[in-house]
């Protein structure tokens, strides 16, 4: 039975991936390692927590001794590394936490994985490491785009990418790096744009919009992201980088307007606020490389957004529960 470690499996993307793998591959043992920081939540795993192929490990990836002990004891076959501090606003306020978790934590993991002969290590990164694009709709990030991060968060992720790459080049460490566009879907912590907007609408509160709201993002449904990582886990080539995008570009303002329209609410709820420091204009991904392996997104943004809104409405209790710790 293959042993797969998923770091950050109590978070948003990692949590969805854990559920996806536990359900799809009962013949694999899935280990969810998470420190349970503010954005970590295990209630999402009630449906799988008693399954024989699911295991939870509470640990902090920045604790080198603990990580080495776990890897030596469990002898994982594969690692999918999601665990990270990921909120740009928080990185601007406290960069050191992001460097500690995203850079040093990643180094601890790749070193432990190297020592225990892990067969494949998938490092989940972000399109934000590429910096920003202009508003020309024909320009996209490719796997060869230079890294030019503009926030402490994206700089910490770019740094972790380079550590993983260096381990491959120096030690022939079997690593793959993925860089995805903005994810959305069930169980996203409500500090991010879509769940925050839904929550504020349901409470009839103002929806903050940075600047003029014209910053563009490419949106990828988390279920499509999980399917892409599944493919790379089985067919991805070590040493390669794969961009994963949803072909769904929208301005932040357009996203909020779509959600308001769903609820039949007035745009009077929109409140423009001073722009974020170093706010990137546009992200857009060219995912041709992974599409050549047979993956493509199944959700259009309108279909995925409707599904996501309905999920939050139906799971209002979960949203209220995690919001109580949002500080």
Whether residue 128 lies in the annotated active site: yes
Q: Which of 128, 132, 161, 249 is catalytic?
A: 128
Q: Which of 153, 167, 184, 242 is catalytic?
A: 153
Q: Which of 29, 34, 127, 249 is catalytic?
A: 127
Edge-first strand listing for the sheet containing 29-34: 54-58, 29-34, 3-7, 78-81, 120-126, 175-180, 241-244
Local structure of 142: helix, strand or coil: coil
Count CB neighbours of 307 within 10 A. Answer: 15
3-state helix, strand, coil in the chain (%, to 5): 45, 20, 40
Burial (CB count within 10 angstroms: exposed 0-12, middle 13-18, buried 19+), residue 242? buried
Beta strands in 149-198, from DSSP E residues, in sequence order: 175-180, 182-184
Q: What is the CA radius of gyration of the chain?
A: 19
Whether residue 127 lies in the annotated active site: yes
Question: How is residue 159 written in tokens?
Answer: 């740094």
Whether residue 235 lies in the annotated active site: no
Q: Is-contact 279 193, C-beta < 8 A?
A: no
Catalytic residues: 127-128, 153
């Amino acid at each position: 039975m293959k042993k797969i470690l998923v770091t950050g499996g109590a978070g948003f993307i990692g949590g969805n991936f854990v559920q996806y793998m536990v359900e799809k591959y009962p013949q694999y043992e899935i280990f969810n390692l998470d420190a349970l920081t503010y954005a970590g939540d295990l209630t999402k795993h009630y449906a799988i927590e008693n399954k024989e192929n699911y295991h939870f490990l509470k640990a902090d990836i920045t604790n080198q001794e603990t990580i080495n002990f776990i890897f030596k004891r469990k002898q994982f076959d594969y690692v999918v590394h999601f665990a990270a501090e990921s909120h740009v606003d928080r990185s601007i306020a406290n960069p050191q936490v992001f460097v500690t978790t995203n850079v040093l934590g990643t180094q601890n993991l790749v070193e432990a994985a190297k020592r225990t002969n892990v067969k494949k290590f998938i490092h989940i990164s972000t399109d934000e490491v590429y910096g920003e694009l202009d508003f020309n709709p024909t320009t996209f990030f490719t796997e060869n785009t230079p890294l030019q991060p503009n926030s402490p968060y994206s700089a910490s992720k770019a740094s972790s990418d380079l550590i993983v790459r260096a381990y491959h080049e120096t030690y022939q460490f079997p690593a793959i790096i993925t860089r995805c566009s903005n994810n959305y879907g069930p169980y996203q912590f409500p500090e991010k744009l879509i769940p925050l907007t839904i929550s504020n609408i349901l409470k009839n509160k103002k929806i903050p919009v940075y600047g003029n709201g014209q910053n563009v993002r490419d949106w990828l449904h988390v279920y499509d992201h999980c399917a892409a990582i599944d493919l790379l886990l089985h067919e991805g080539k070590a040493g390669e980088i794969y961009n994963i995008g949803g072909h769904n570009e929208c301005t932040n303002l357009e996203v909020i307007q779509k959600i308001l329209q769903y609820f039949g609410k007035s745009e009077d709820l929109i409140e423009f606020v001073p722009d974020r420091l170093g706010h990137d204009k546009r992200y857009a991904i060219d995912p041709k490389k992974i599409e050549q392996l047979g993956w493509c997104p199944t959700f259009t943004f309108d279909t995925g957004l409707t599904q996501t809104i309905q999920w939050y409405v139906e799971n209002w209790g979960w949203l209220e529960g995690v919001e109580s710790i949002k500080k």
